Amino acid sequence: MLGLIGVIVGMAAGAVTILVDGRQIRWPHWLSGRKWWKAILVFVVAGAISTGLTLGGYLMAHRTSEAKELGGVDLSGYCASYEFKGAQQMGCQSPINLGDACDKRWDREDDTMKFTDPNDPNSGVCITASGRDTKKGVDNLPGYCHHKYPLTHKVTARSSPPHSWVCRTSVDPTLVCSWQYQSRDAVARKDDADKQWKCYEEKQL
């Protein structure tokens, strides 16, 4: 509050300075011819603004808050709400059906994928329903993941050797708490004792 008052005072003094420079204010004859009053006015304006900002910053930095523990972070529930199949390490993920990815890429049905190198997850080629080797794979698995999860921000494709692929996105635990408890005051903190994420309702006093 003190900071706000200081800023308001400073703004008012600044407005006076503008009016004076524009000669919108008539000063008494004994004062209008003197130069020292402008220096005093500028000093007052600068002092009021700096004092207001300093006090405002101090008060904001020293605001206290009260935190109430709400419970654990329901990452699995959050991921399921976006139709992911599981949660792991503060992220949502689902295994990619590589045959479906082939269908989407080449506009067909009932494709499968075969890997030409047993150690390379990027060596997959699409096989048609009739068994024809197309010699072509899926060149944009992240694009396939965006197609599967259009409401998810920054979803990407990751490989897990030898031939597993998943669509995955990282998750902000505070966002999960806000969703879980339907509160903008809900935040996530990692417990120092068990290293688990928990939700708290934090309100400024």
Q: pLDDT tens digits, the chain, 205 residues: what are they?
A: 544 554 454 555 555 454 455 454 455 555 455 555 555 555 555 555 656 656 555 555 555 567 788 999 999 999 999 999 999 889 999 999 999 999 999 999 999 999 999 889 999 999 999 999 999 999 999 999 999 999 988 999 999 778 889 999 999 999 999 999 999 899 999 988 888 899 999 776 6
Dihedral angle, C-alpha 131, 132, 136, 140, nearest 10 °: -40
Note the pLDDT of residue 112: 95
Strand, coil or helix: 168: strand
Q: Are 112 and 123 in contact (CB under 8 A)?
A: no
Calpha distance 96→7 (Å, rounded) = 57
Cβ neighbors of 151 (< 8 A, separation 6 or more) are 82
Tokens of 76: 């699995």
Q: Are 165 and 121 in contact (CB under 8 A)?
A: yes
Tokens of 88: 């792991």
Note the pLDDT of residue 73: 95
Model pLDDT for residues 67-100, shown as the tens digit of each residue = 788 999 999 999 999 999 999 889 999 999 999 9
Residue with tokens 């949502």: 92
Note the pLDDT of residue 7: 47
Calpha distance 16→81 (Å, rounded) = 57
Domain segments of the chain: what residues? 2-61, 66-90+171-205, 94-168
Note the pLDDT of residue 47: 56
Q: Are 141 and 101 in contact (CB under 8 A)?
A: yes
